[in-house]
Amino acid sequence: MVAGLINANPIVYEKKERRGRSVPSTADGDEYSVEPIDQLEVFDHIRDIKDPEHPYSLEELKVVTEDAVEVDDKHSHVRVTFTPTVEHCSMATVIGLCIRVKLLRSLPSRYKVDIIVAPGTHATEAAVNKQLNDKERVAAALENPNLVEMVDQCLAPSYD
Amino acid sequence: MDLLEKKMELKEIQKLEGHTDRVWSLAWNPTTGVAGIPAMLASCSGDKTVRIWQQNTSLPSNPWECKAVLDETHTRTVRSCAWSPSGKLLATGSFDATTAIWEHVGDDFECVATLEGHENEVKSVSWNSSGSLLATCSRDKSVWIWEVLPGNEFECVSVLQGHTQDVKMVQWHPFMDVLFSCSYDNTIKVWAGDDDSDDWECLQTLNESNNGHSSTVWALSFNSTGDKMVTCSDDLTLKVWGNDSATKQTNGDEFSPWRHLCTLSGFHDRTIFSVHWSREGVIASGAADDAIRLFVENNDDLVEGPSYKLLLKKEKAHDMDVNSVQWSFKENRLLASASDDGTIKIWELASLP
């Protein structure tokens, strides 16, 4: 990355305060009932992913927000819309891949996940979306040691 | 036979477990399942192995058993597998950029050749009807044609460039030496050899401007008479194409182009990865919504040209995406499916009492 960053001076936003998960109502007395997966839970999985270029999280760069996560637990469907920091961000596919891998590792396997670039925020939006949602391309990418290393770095927990 | 008159069901016969990652593709051995030869099936997976499954005919229920695991040859996902028409050779294409040829010797499978040349992931392999040619395709956008020489030698006779993105699948016509390829570039290309120059050329491209697909084309399959082809896509449709030359007794010199006959839309809501036409005319599709659907030609209304009806939809056929559906050659109503859930299922299309 000595050759120059794609976005050298990104705007860094404050992290949202972490809300505790609402305690499920026990009015019906069934504490063993399955708790559905919600927007906040999915957001919690991806908010701390680090940007491939910066020491900031996707939340701090507003690449992902809670509102950009749509969850339909009944139909086991999740859709994440992310916003690259700059329109020509060549890291967009890596960021998308990180989100996909994190959700692959975190959500039950019944979930179908779609990951898309926010409309109008990237020069090659359609191409990025197509690649991120082609599971064969994703599977092949995840057998590429260099890419896997990059993804794992972005997903490594930070203890600050 | 009119399937639409009866109530049909897709009955699960057996679930085959053993792969430790998603199963991408399946192939029935074409010379088995008849004359007392137990039926045989190959499967390939993200676990880098190929498994050979065979029916145990000495037990009353004829259960399927894993006969062999072909490993330690491919170093990455095995994406595709195909038996030669003789049933003696199995070709496997891998993300490791190679194609391996396995020979069935006695009870064993031996890797007898490794074909190198593609720059990156090999996505599909296909033998022509006589077994003299093998086609492979890759993310490197090219399609290679290999000639099968004596002594398990394979010589690349042509490298076909034309697709602008990765090529997802190659498939030979069931009896003519015409090759079809479909791609991430949303098109299907038709290739044939020129008898005079030994060169292969693209005769036709089916794209959006001639009623083709608007997203990745994942797979294609022919009907038994070879005059119709069905394609499936990420655009959530199946398309049926027709051709006259297979039925008109031409000498093969004249190429008659493929025409769009109809589009089956509104049935799928996620990517369709696989489509396969049975000998008796049932189209099966496998999709990312975990379901298997069966379609048959609807003879009620031929004025508008052929149309197809949903015969049945098997919801939750697997726990995850269905990557491959393949009808058996011999038993018309036996279907195998492979999934991201790591399993293969054998199904029987049966009429409800």
A26 falls within a domain:
no
**Segment holding A100, helix H or strand E:** helix A92-106
Higher pLDDT, A29 or A138: A138
Position A155 pLDDT exceeds 90: yes
- Closest partner residue to B77 (CB to CB) among A110, A112, A143 is A143
What span, in angstroms and rounded, lies between the C-alpha atoms of B113 and B99?
8
The pLDDT tens digits for A7-41 are 777 788 878 777 666 555 555 556 666 778 899 99
A14 falls within a domain:
no
Residue B318 is predicted with a pLDDT of: 98
Residue B336 is predicted with a pLDDT of: 98
Residue B83 is predicted with a pLDDT of: 98
What span, in angstroms and rounded, lies between the C-alpha atoms of B322 and B318?
7
* ipTM for the whole complex: 0.93
A52 falls within a domain:
yes
A32 falls within a domain:
no
The pLDDT tens digits for A44-87 are 999 999 998 888 999 999 999 999 999 999 999 999 999 998 88
Q: State how far residue B41 is from chain A, nearest Cα, in angstroms.
A: 23
Which of B208, B216, B233 shows the shortest CA–CA distance to A127?
A: B216
Residue A69 is predicted with a pLDDT of: 97
pLDDT band, residue B107 (cuts 50/70/90): confident
Contact map slice: B 174-193 vs A, CB within 8 A: 184
Amino acid at B144: W
A47 falls within a domain:
yes
The mean pLDDT value for B264-283 works out to: 96
For A1-70, give the DSSP string.
-TT--SSSS---PPPPPPPPPPPPP-TT--TTSPPPP-HHHHHHHHTTPBPSSSSSBTTTTTSS-GGGEE
pLDDT band, residue A1 (cuts 50/70/90): very low
- Closest partner residue to A140 (CB to CB) among B139, B288, B341 is B139
Domains recognised in chain B with CATH numbers: 213-353 (2.130.10.10)
Residue A90 is predicted with a pLDDT of: 79
Q: State how far residue B179 is from chain A, nearest Cα, in angstroms.
A: 23
Which of B144, B148, B139 shows the shortest CA–CA distance to B112?
A: B148
What span, in angstroms and rounded, lies between the C-alpha atoms of B347 and B322?
14
Residue A88 is predicted with a pLDDT of: 77
Residue B198 is predicted with a pLDDT of: 73
Full residue range of the structural domain in which residue A52 is found: 39-155
A11 falls within a domain:
no
Q: Which of B23, B77, B123 to mutate to test the interface with A (most CBs of A within 10 A)?
A: B77
Q: Yes or no: say if A131 and A147 are a contact pair by the CB < 8 Å rule.
A: no
CATH number at residue A127: 3.30.300.130
Number of domains in chain A: 1
Q: State how far residue B319 is from chain A, nearest Cα, in angstroms.
A: 7
- The average confidence (pLDDT) of chain B is 93
The pLDDT tens digits for B213-264 are 999 999 999 999 999 999 999 999 999 999 987 555 555 557 889 999 999 9
Q: Yes or no: say if B175 and B195 are a contact pair by the CB < 8 Å rule.
A: no
A20 falls within a domain:
no
For B109-164, give the DSSP string.
EEEEEEE---SS-EEEEEE-TTSSEEEEEETTS-EEEEEEETTTEEEEEEEE---S
A112 falls within a domain:
yes
Do the chains contact at A112 and B79, CB–CB below 8 Å?
no
For A117-145, give the DSSP string.
EPTTS-TTHHHHHHHHT-HHHHHHHTT-H
pLDDT band, residue A2 (cuts 50/70/90): very low
